[in-house]
Amino acid sequence: MGRKKRDLSHLLPFCYYCDKTFENEIILHQHQKARHFTCEKCQKKFSTADLIKSHLHQSHNENLQKVPNSLSDRSSIELKIFGMQGVPRPFIEERQKSKAKEYWDKIISEKNQKLKKEQKLKEKEQKKKQKAQKQTVEVEEKVQEQEKKAEENFDMTGFSFGFGLDLNAGQENKKDNFKPSNIFGFE
């Protein structure tokens, strides 16, 4: 069993325009070209917003107002972003903090869930032990009751073992009635 893979998504490159995370910056460049810097008229792909803006102006006589397929608060063409280059530093730091917080909240939540499960299991085991102890006490009480009833109902008067001994006969004077020959059936 190996180590658990850590979630390092807060350190991975991300697209400033749509906030999508990528494994490496090469894939991020491909994403930005295909998703945000592709001319809708001729399907040409560009690496920055400046290049697509100048292309639209020169080739199609259009002005680009905002980056296509971007979040509303991040659609500015004024920023010169290529991959992770040009992304405002405070924005990167804020993203790292928020993603790190999400990660640690998730870890703490998982630990709490694990502790709750363990606590429930302990409570179940305790209940089982208490139930078993209660049943043991009940069984012992029933056995004692039955033994008492058996003692009360068992009468030894007139009972002999077949050796000529009468258990009640020896009550007056035990030594006088006992003879070794009585044990073996001799008179």
pLDDT tens sequence across 8-21: 555 788 898 998 98
Do 20 and 50 have their domain in common? Answer: yes
Domain extent for 128: 88-141
Calpha distance 16→148 (Å, rounded):
87
**70 and 15 in a common domain:** yes
The angle at the Cα of 52, spanning 50 to 55, to the nearest 5 degrees, equals: 110
- The two structure tokens encoding residue 2: 């190996």
Entry pTM: 0.51
Predicted confidence band of residue 161 (pLDDT cuts 50, 70, 90): low
pLDDT at 160: 54
Q: Write the CB contacts of 131 (distance below 8 Å, at least 6 apart in sequence).
A: none
Q: What is the pLDDT of residues 80-97, one digit of tens each?
A: 888 888 888 888 888 888
185 is a domain residue: no
Residue 186, pLDDT above cutoff 80:
no
pLDDT of res. 5: 61
Which one, of 128, 34, 16, lies nearest residue 77 by Cα?
A: 16
Q: How far apart, in Å, are the Cα atoms of 124 and each of 119, 120, 162, 171? A: 9, 6, 57, 58
Instruction: Write out pLDDT tens, residues 23-77.
Output: 999 999 999 999 988 988 899 999 888 899 999 999 999 888 888 888 888 888 8
Q: Which residue has the higher pLDDT, 57 or 163?
A: 57
Q: Last residue of some domain: 52, 87, 122?
A: 87
Q: Lowest-confidence range among 101-115, 132-146, 172-186?
A: 172-186
Q: Check whether 155 has a pLDDT greater than 70.
A: no
By residue count, the chain amounts to 187
Q: How far apart are the C-alpha atoms of 138 and 134, rounded to whole Å? A: 6
> Hey, what are 165's tokens?
């001994």
Number of separate domains in the chain: 2
77 and 16 within one domain: yes
Whether residue 72 sits in one domain with residue 47: yes
Looking at 87, 102, 128, the residue that finishes a domain is: 87
95 and 81 belong to one structural domain: no
